Each structure stands twice: as C-alpha cells, then as structure tokens.
Amino acid sequence: MTISGMTPTAKLLQQLVRIPSVNPEGNPGVANPGEQACAEFIAKFLRQAGANVQLQPVFKNRPNVIGVFKPKGKINTRLLLAPHTDTVSVLGMSIDPFAAKVKGGKLYGRGASDTKGPMAAMLQAVKEFFVSDTFKNSGLEITFVGLMGEEAGNYGAHAWAKKCPAYDLAIIGEPTDFKIVHAHKGCAWLKFSTKGRAVHASTPANGRNAINAMLPVLAYVETILSKKISSFTHRQLGASTIVATVIHGGSKTNIIPDHCEIEVDLRFTPNLTVNKVLGFIRQDLKQAGLDATVSVISSSSALHTDANHQLIKKILPHSKGLTTAPWFCDAAIFGLRGIPSVALGPGSIKQAHTADEFIKLADLEKGKDGYLQILRALAVR
C-alpha cells in the first residue's frame, strides 16, 4: 500500500476509468465514444513496461492495442491476455461514470468491473512479472491485447483472431470472481419470413394470407424443431433451446397481410452449430411443404475448452475453480480458431453494466496477485 492507500493497480484502474471508452453502437450516452484514447493510454503503459507495441486499426478511431513481452529464452509457450477496452453505455447511471471515486473500499465508475478492473490487474501483473528473473529465463511469451468492440459484434477479437499466432492459451479478462469460465452456450437470433398477396379484406379468397402461412411454421418451431434442438446437451450447460420471441405481420385491419415474420432466440451447446440448425430447418420446411424462408440476424459461437487441458490444470490451483457462464465473451472467438480459451478475472459480473458499477479494491488486488501466480506457473516448465 502506498501512503494514499491506493496500490499501483488501483491507481491504474482509476486512470483507465477516467478515460471514457464507451462502445459507440446504440446510444453511448457520451459525446466522444470509442476506444482510441484508452488504446493509446494502454500502448504507452505497455511500452514503458517493456513490450513491443502496435495498434491494429479495426474501425476509424477504434483500434486494438497489442503489446508483446518476449523472454530471453527460446519460446515454448505463447500466452494471450486479452480484456476489452470498450464499455457499455453510461445512460441511466446513478453515479459519475468517469470520476473513479473510491469509497468504502470500492472503486466506482463505468468499466470498473467490466472490464477495466480485470484489465488493470492484468497490466500490473505483467509489468511486475516482466522484470523478474523467472520471466527473463523462461520460454513464456506474453501478448497483451486490449480488444475494441466486445460489447457489440466482437469486432476486435475477430480482427485479431484472424491474424494472431496460434497461442497455447488465451485468458480473456472478464469479471468472473476469479473463476475460470471454460464453457458457455452460443446464441443466435433467426428470422422466419412468409410472403402473401395483399388484397381487400372483403375478398380474402383473392389474396394470400402471410399470417396464416406463418401459423404452421410457428407450430413447427415450438414442437418438432424445439425437440430436435433440445437433444443437443452439455454436461454443465444443459440442453440447447429455441423459442419464438417476436412476431410481426400485416399492415391494416382491412388488408390481407402480404408479409409475416417471427424472430427466434437459439441458445446452443458446443456440440451444435447455427449451420446445423439451418440445415434442419431448411430440410424440414421443404419436407412439410411450408413456403417460408429463414435467415440469421446475429450469431455468436459457443465456448468449450477442455477442463483437462494441461495448461488449464496448471493455472487452476491459482484460481477460484472452474465454472461455466450464461453470458458470451471474446473467449469464444479465439476458441473458434482452435486456441484453448477461457475467461478469468477479478470482480463480479453482478456489478457489470449496472447503474453504480464498482469493483472491490481488495478483489482487484487479489486478482493482480492471482494473475501473477498464473504467469509464474506458466513460466515454469
């Protein structure tokens, strides 16, 4: 502890929270959204800590920031540490989002928990580890990446996953109570559409009713398809699910509707893919003679990293154990590339995206120590 009672990790977090980096999609609630300033701050920190640093432009003023820490020895393990630099909107917050006030052992502000807390803990741990003999004499290469755009679209993770080396392990910084999240379901939103022919409602026989055409499609989704989907299960995550959640159709009471759409929410286990589901649907619709089309509105993949992987076993004793999550994060993007990926960090997801977001400073410091132990464990062969 320093005289002011703030550790270097807490001071770093305070600086990070004071740099707004709100994701610009939707209504960010600030005049200057985007990750540029945050990425530049991290670049400077990484350079001073001894890394080779570059910015990867993804969108205008929205780069990834990458710092590589090289050991003196021959590289035998490549580690990726990757929190995201963007935060969710500040709309509806009950505190000053960027004051980074400390009160009662907690630091308050947008991103304090999700995910500038885990990011500060990672950065400080790497900085301290870099000057140790354990690191210098090891074969562990550490790449820190501050990923832009996690809160909408995961663009930063996709951009880096496309060109990054095949890491032996990726640790994504998220507030997980320092438990290792090694599996979560994927999520996709699908849209079914039926077309009709609009005529005056007084002569329905002359038109084609798109709402009526949707009825058997809706029944199919809720019965046959739902049953098929639920047969895909995972020991910890449970069964895959699909459910219709939105319906639109028609334009006026006296017009036969010429269009109808339903939107469905699909949550799938790692043994199921969106393409597989689309395959089922297209075949079933054809077989039943139903004239409907299906399209993907959005999709994010499932995560499943083997809990018995040797590097997971190596870091496990320095964490609070293994777990799964109901949410989605950048880990799945690197998992898709075949990189063993997990999410791990201090702080609780319960405080993420909240009106008075905070992280407990004691947890933050334990997180920094935890990451440090993990780095040591990975450096020792």
Minimum CB distance to Zn ion smaller for 42 or for 214:
42
Q: Please choose, out of 109-117, 159-167, 223-231, 286-294, the segment that lies near Zn ion by the rule CB under 5 A.
A: 109-117
Q: How far is the CB of 319 from Zn ion (least distance, A)?
A: 18
User: Looking only at residues 6 through 25 of this chain, which bind Zn ion when binding is defined by CB under 5 A?
Assistant: none
Q: How far is the CB of 349 from Zn ion (least distance, A)?
A: 8
Q: How far is the CB of 159 from Zn ion (least distance, A)?
A: 17
One-letter identity of residue 110: R
The DSSP bridge pattern shows strands 358-360 and 186-195 to be unpaired
Written as six digits, the tokens of 105 are 């052992």
Q: Please choose, out of 111-119, 211-219, 236-244, 355-363, the segment that lies near Zn ion by the rule CB under 5 A.
A: 111-119
One-letter identity of residue 34: G
CA distance 365 to 327: 25
Backbone angles phi, psi at 223, to 5 degrees: -115, -80
Show the 3-state SS of 34-70: CCHHHHHHHHHHHHHHCCEEEEEEEECCEEEEEEEEC
Q: Is 114 in the site for Zn ion (CB under 5 A)?
A: yes
CA distance 166 to 143: 12
Q: How far is the CB of 153 from Zn ion (least distance, A)?
A: 13
Q: Please choose, out of 3-11, 99-107, 169-177, 362-370, the segment that lies near Zn ion by the rule CB under 5 A.
A: 169-177
CA distance 61 to 287: 49
Q: How far is the CB of 83 from Zn ion (least distance, A)?
A: 8
Q: Tell me, residue by residue from 172 to 191, as one string, x for binding to Zn ion by CB under 5 A and - for no binding.
A: --x-----------------
Among 113, 115, 300, 301, binds Zn ion (CB under 5 A): 115
Minimum CB distance to Zn ion smaller for 343 or for 379:
343
Q: Tell me, residue by residue from 56 to 95, as one string, x for binding to Zn ion by CB under 5 A and - for no binding.
A: ----------------------------------------
Q: Is 330 in the site for Zn ion (CB under 5 A)?
A: no
3-state DSSP assignment of residue 364:
helix
Helical spans, DSSP H, in 170-258: 210-220, 226-230
Q: How far is the CB of 285 from Zn ion (least distance, A)?
A: 37
Q: How far is the CB of 118 from Zn ion (least distance, A)?
A: 8
368 membership: H or E segment, kind and range: helix 361-379
Minimum CB distance to Zn ion smaller for 85 or for 305:
85
3-state DSSP assignment of residue 238:
strand
Q: How many residues bind Zn ion (CB under 5 A)?
A: 3
Q: How far is the CB of 79 from Zn ion (least distance, A)?
A: 20
Minimum CB distance to Zn ion smaller for 152 or for 288:
152
Pick from 228, 230, 227, 221: nearest CA to 288: 221
CA distance 78 to 133: 18
Which parts of this chain interact with Zn ion (CB under 5 A)? 114-115, 174
